[in-house]
């Protein structure tokens, strides 16, 4: 009696530990309680059979072995059922993945094809999924992830810009052919820090309108020059729509050979700058790169004498090697300080 009382707590602890462990295994393997109890009984029966055999209790060992065999049979039946269930689920999943792939391929094809294909009857129609290679799939997933992050960064920059501007009409879209949203936000910071009186922009468009709003409060003015008669009209119409005529002046300057640099690609007709002096900020976003190699390189040599001391120079499209080469050349030749080499897409430089 005394021994029973002494071993009871130990037995209790062992039972608790076994039960607890069994519960953890049950959850990890997502097994039902009945199944776990079955496995436990089987384990106990096996141990009991071995113990009875060792102690030569052959009758007891035979009975327990028979029970164990029956249990093993039940477990085998149970396992077969589980395997059949898993196979069915796997087949169902494979079928729905195949359906999704077929639908995605059909949607992609529908975007490319102008004429819809002749409909096939369900009897003839066999689904032909477009099999994407693993490398293509991974590349697509990487691309989608990259685009999503870019869009989030653009949204963040747009929210930042939006807090600084109260538009009087729909704002022109940033990005694509225009300066990107993050660069525009960086430019907005530069305008707020330096409060330029005269901004000269080479290559007008969406940035002209955003800059117009950003400087009108501090009495700044923007002269925006463009080589394209067509696009300068677009920008001019936008200036009027946003009532920015007091702040923004647009000038057309067709591209022409530079008398001071005959070997350079054609650049803006310099007559467009004749009346300008003490420019505090020069924004170089034109001529377009398609005009010729290093199309923007002539800007600083041609306009250096028109800049105010300590003027800032901004050059867009810093992802291009030719713009990087231009920044290197300008910095050395004019002793410029590189404030930003192009983190967002624009380089910011300061004259001595
Ligand atoms: C690199 S883009 C940048 C223009 C501007 N700095 C901006 O960020 O919005 C340069 C050229 O785009 C052209 N452009 C202006 N408005 C445009 C428009 N709505 N669509 C396409 N191109 C345009 C102009 O001829 C301009 O010189």
Instruction: Note the pLDDT tens digit of each residue in 33-50.
Output: 666 666 677 777 777 778
- Mean pLDDT of the residues in the chain: 85
Quote the ligand 1 centre to 126 CA distance (angstroms).
Answer: 49
Q: Which of 102-106, 280-284, 338-342 has the lowest mean pLDDT?
A: 102-106
Quote the ligand 1 centre to 265 CA distance (angstroms).
Answer: 19
DSSP 332-344: HHHT-EEEESSSS
Contact partners, residue 294, CB within 8 Å, separation at least 6: 264, 265, 322, 325, 326
Does 168 have pLDDT greater than 90? yes
The whole-number pLDDT of residue 321 equals 95
Residues with CB under 6 A from ligand 1: 177-179, 203-207, 226, 228, 231, 234-235, 285-286, 288
The whole-number pLDDT of residue 113 equals 46
Average pLDDT over residues 178-196: 98
Higher pLDDT, 268 or 105: 268
Domain 155-350 adopts which CATH fold?
Rossmann fold (3.40.50)
Q: What is the pLDDT of residues 48-102, one digit of tens each?
A: 778 888 888 888 888 877 877 877 677 677 667 766 665 564 555 566 556 556 5
Higher pLDDT, 255 or 260: 255
Atom of ligand 1 nearest to the CA of 287: 27
Q: What are the beta bridge partners of residue 317?
A: none
The whole-number pLDDT of residue 62 equals 81
Percent of the chain at pLDDT > 70 equals: 75
The whole-number pLDDT of residue 103 equals 58
Atom of ligand 1 nearest to the CA of 201: 6
Quote the ligand 1 centre to 174 CA distance (angstroms).
Answer: 10
Segment 4-10 long-range contacts (CB within 8 Å, at least 24 positions apart): none
The whole-number pLDDT of residue 293 equals 84
Atom of ligand 1 nearest to the CA of 226: 27
| C-beta atoms surrounding 258 within 10 Å | 18
As a residue count, the chain comes to 352
Does 172 have pLDDT greater than 50? yes
Q: What is the pLDDT of residues 106-140, one digit of tens each?
A: 555 555 544 555 555 555 556 677 778 888 888 88
Quote the ligand 1 centre to 303 CA distance (angstroms).
Answer: 21
pLDDT band for position 273 (50/70/90)? very high
Q: Which of 30-44, 251-265, 325-339 has the lowest mean pLDDT?
A: 30-44
Quote the ligand 1 centre to 148 CA distance (angstroms).
Answer: 25
């Amino acid at each position: 009696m005394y021994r029973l009382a002494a071993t009871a707590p130990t037995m209790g602890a062992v039972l608790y530990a076994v039960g607890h462990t069994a519960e953890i295994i049950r959850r990890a393997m997502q097994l039902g309680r009945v199944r776990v109890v079955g496995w436990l009984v089987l384990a106990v029966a096996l141990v009991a059979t071995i113990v009875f055999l060792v102690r030569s209790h052959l009758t007891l060992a035979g009975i327990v072995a028979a029970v164990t065999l029956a249990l093993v049979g039940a477990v085998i039946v149970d396992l077969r059922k589980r395997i059949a269930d898993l196979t069915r689920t796997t087949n169902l999943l494979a079928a729905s993945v195949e359906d999704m792939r077929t639908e995605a391929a059909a949607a992609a094809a529908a975007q490319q094809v102008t004429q819809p294909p002749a409909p096939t009857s369900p009897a003839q129609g066999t689904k032909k999924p477009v099999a994407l290679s693993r490398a293509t799939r991974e590349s697509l997933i990487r691309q989608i992830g990259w685009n999503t992050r870019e869009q989030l960064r653009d949204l963040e920059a747009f929210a930042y810009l939006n807090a600084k501007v109260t538009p009087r009409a729909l704002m022109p879209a940033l990005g694509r052919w225009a300066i990107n949203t993050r660069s525009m936000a960086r430019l907005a910071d530069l305008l707020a820090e330096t409060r330029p009186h005269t901004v000269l922009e080479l290559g007008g468009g969406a940035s002209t309108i955003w800059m117009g709003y950003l400087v009108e409060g501090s009495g700044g003015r923007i002269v925006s020059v463009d080589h394209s008669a067509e696009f300068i009209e677009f920008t001019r119409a936008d200036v009027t729509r946003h009532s920015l005529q007091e702040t923004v002046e647009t000038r057309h300057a067709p591209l022409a050979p530079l008398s001071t640099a005959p070997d350079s690609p054609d650049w803006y007709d310099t007559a467009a700058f004749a009346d300008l002096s003490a420019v505090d900020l020069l924004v170089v976003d034109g001529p377009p790169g398609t005009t010729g190699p290093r199309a923007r390189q002539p800007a600083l040599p041609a306009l250096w004498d028109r800049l105010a001391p300590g003027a800032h120079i901004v050059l867009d499209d810093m992802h291009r090697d030719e713009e990087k080469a231009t920044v290197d050349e300008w910095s050395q030749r004019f002793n410029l300080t590189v404030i930003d080499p192009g983190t967002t897409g624009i380089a910011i430089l300061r004259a001595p």
